[in-house]
Amino acid sequence: MSPYDRPTRVPSQGVDLRLTKSARLRRAAGLITLAGFAALALASCAAQVNQHPTGDSQAPGFFPGQVVTIQGQEAANLYPIVFAVAAVVFVLVEGLIIWITLRYRRKPTDTALPVQTHGNNKLEVLWIVIPFLVVSGLFVGTYATLADTEKISPTPDVTIDVTAFQWQWTFAYPGVLNAAGQPISFTGAGSTGPEMVLPTGETILFRLHAQDVIHSFFVPQFFRKLDVIPGRVNEFQVVIQDEGTFGGQCAEFCGLGHSQMYFTIRAVSPSDYVTWAAQAQAQANASPEPAPSGAVTVAVHAVSIVAGFDPNTVTAPANTPLTVQFTNGDPAVAHNFAIKAANPDGSDFIGEPPVQGGQTGSFQVPALPAGTYTFYCAIHPNMTGTLKVGG
């Protein structure tokens, strides 16, 4: 007698039947719950009013919100097509699953084996070919859209140099210069971040630069993000169609302050933009960067305890007071700027107070005779660099 004869099938059938009914009820309950939660989700969001600049004015839903650029709109136009394909597949497959689970439950009368179907070549070819055609169609749509949205005009109307660093943005306008011939620029923090003013209807080129780690320049209403990567300049172009204020945010995790790395874009009419640019230019000229008289500014950037300073060789003129503009790119660690044997009595110059992680500060260094000095972080003496004074 083999143990593989099917014994005790019959007594268990009563149990099967009861489970079948209750399981069916539970399935129905599950479906109702699902539908209910979907309805709840939609209804509850519809009531929300959004005033925050980091999102669009519409509540979350199954379709993209307001998209304000020509390129973004073209990309967003793909969404309903993909959604329709996905919806058809979803309804078809889930419908089949529900039908099969209801129709082919094991019944007490099922003592004989069902038909042992091992396959069907025609059917299988069919469900290889049809999905292949569908995804090929989607790919063609993707390819065509990409060709449009990624076009870079060689002569953009406005260029913005976006610089990301932990955890802020700087927007510089190389087309709008101050009296010193430098692009005017804006840096800011807080829940709105720095504001970038742009004209509608003109081609805008974004050039993305990163100072420390990878960030991502993301404006939901542009339907677009592009990573900001150190050692590389990424570019993309948009034409904004609608005036308004649109929030943006860093989308690539970049450390402690990532969730607060906001910025704002304000799109205005071309004439308003010209007016704004003139005003901004005048403002920049009215209040030039404050610098101590006679002092020369030297930029020093601390990267981390491991990586030290970048660059780690800094030059300065001899016998001139120095203002060290100190950027601490190290997320959570304070650093400072010290120079070995720089004081007249031979002791080290030590800059106080230290600059906290991710912030900037400045140190006033007295005039130094020509020579080569070693600078370091007094908190982490392994972080060193070379200061060449004069020559």
Partner 1 sequence: MATTAIPQARPYASRRSWVLEWLTTTDHKKIGALYITTAFGMFLVGGIMALAMRTELAQPGLQFLTPDLYDQLFSMHAVTMIFLFVMPMMTGVGNFIVPLQIGAADMAFPRINALGFWLVPAGAVLILGAFAFGGAPVGWTMYAPLTETTPAHGIDLLLMGLVLLGSSSILGAINFLATIFKLRAPGMTLMRMPMLVWTTLVTSVLLLFAMPVLTSGLVMLFIDRNYGGGFFDPSLGGNPILWQHVFWFFGHPEVYVLILPAFGIVSEIVPVFSRKPLFGYKAFVLATASIGALGFTVWAHHMFTTGAVYLPFFSFFTFLIAVPTGVKFFNWLATMWGGQLKFDTPLLYAVGFIALFLIGGLDGAFLAVVPFDFMVQDTYFVVSHIHYVLVAGSVFAIFAGLFYWFPKMTGAKLNERLGKIQFWLLFIGTNVAFFPMHLLGLDGMVRRVVDYAPNNGWADLNLLSTIGAFLIAASVLPFIWNVFTTLRGPRDAGDDPWDANTLEWATTSPPPVFNFDELPAIRSERPVFDLKHPGASVAHAAAGAGAAGKDTH
> Residues 157 to 196: which contact partner 1 by CB under 8 A?
191
- For partner 1, the binding residue among 10, 25, 28, 62 (CB under 8 A) is 62
Name the segment binding partner 1 (CB under 8 A); options: 55-63, 179-187, 197-205, 284-292: 55-63
Let me know the angle formed at the C-alpha of 345 by 339 and 346, rounded to the nearest 5 degrees: 45
Closest to 163 (Cα-Cα) out of 107, 78, 228: 228
**DSSP-assigned beta bridge partners for residue 203:** 239
User: Of 253-261, 263-271, 315-323, 343-351, which part binds partner 1 (CB under 8 A)?
Assistant: 253-261
Asked if 356 touches partner 1 (CB under 8 A), the answer is no
Query: Phi/psi at 129 (nearest 5 deg)?
Result: -70, -45
Distance from C-alpha of 384 to C-alpha of 307, rounded to nearest angstrom: 10
* Sheet strand arrangement including 360-365: 308-309, 296-304, 322-328, 360-365
Binding mask 258-287 for partner 1 (x = CB under 8 A): xxx---------------------------
Provide, rounded to whole angstroms, the least separation between the CB of residue 205 and partner 1.
13
CB of 316 to partner 1, least distance (A): 21
Is 382 an interacting residue with respect to partner 1 (CB under 8 A)? Answer: no
Q: Closest distance between partner 1 and the C-beta of residue 55, in Å?
A: 4
- The tokens describing 132, both together, are 């292949």
Considering only residues 87 through 106, tell me which ones interact with partner 1, judged by CB under 8 A. Answer: 89-90, 93-94, 96-97, 100-101, 104-106
Cβ 251 to partner 1 shortest distance, Å: 4
Tell me if 70 contacts partner 1 by CB under 8 A.
no
Residue 122 is a binding residue for partner 1 (CB under 8 A): no
HSE (CB half, 13 Å, CA atoms) of 179? Answer: 8
Is the separation of the CB atoms in 251 and 219 below 8 Å?
Answer: no
Least Cβ distance, residue 149 to partner 1 (angstroms): 6
Distance CA 103, CA 353 (A): 76
Q: Is 207 in the site for partner 1 (CB under 8 A)?
A: no
304-343 residues near partner 1, rule: CB under 8 A: 304-307, 310, 329-333
Residue 59 contacts partner 1 per CB under 8 A: yes
Instruction: Please tell me whether residue 232 binds partner 1 under the rule CB under 8 A.
Output: yes
Cα angle 318-322-328, degrees, rounded to a multiple of 5: 130
64 touching partner 1, by CB under 8 A:
yes
Exposure string over 232-261, b if 16+ CB within 10 A, otherwise e: eebebbbbbeeebebbbbbbbebbebbeeb
Which of 172, 369, 145 lies closest to 277, judged by CA? 172
Element (H, E) at 140: helix 121-149
**Cβ 243 vs Cβ 268: under 8 Å:** yes
Binding residues for partner 1 restricted to 9-48, rule: CB under 8 A? 16, 19-20, 23, 26, 30, 33-34, 37-38, 40-41, 44-45, 48
User: Quick one: 169 or 218, whose CB is closer to partner 1?
Assistant: 218
Nearest distance from C-beta of residue 268 to partner 1, angstroms = 22
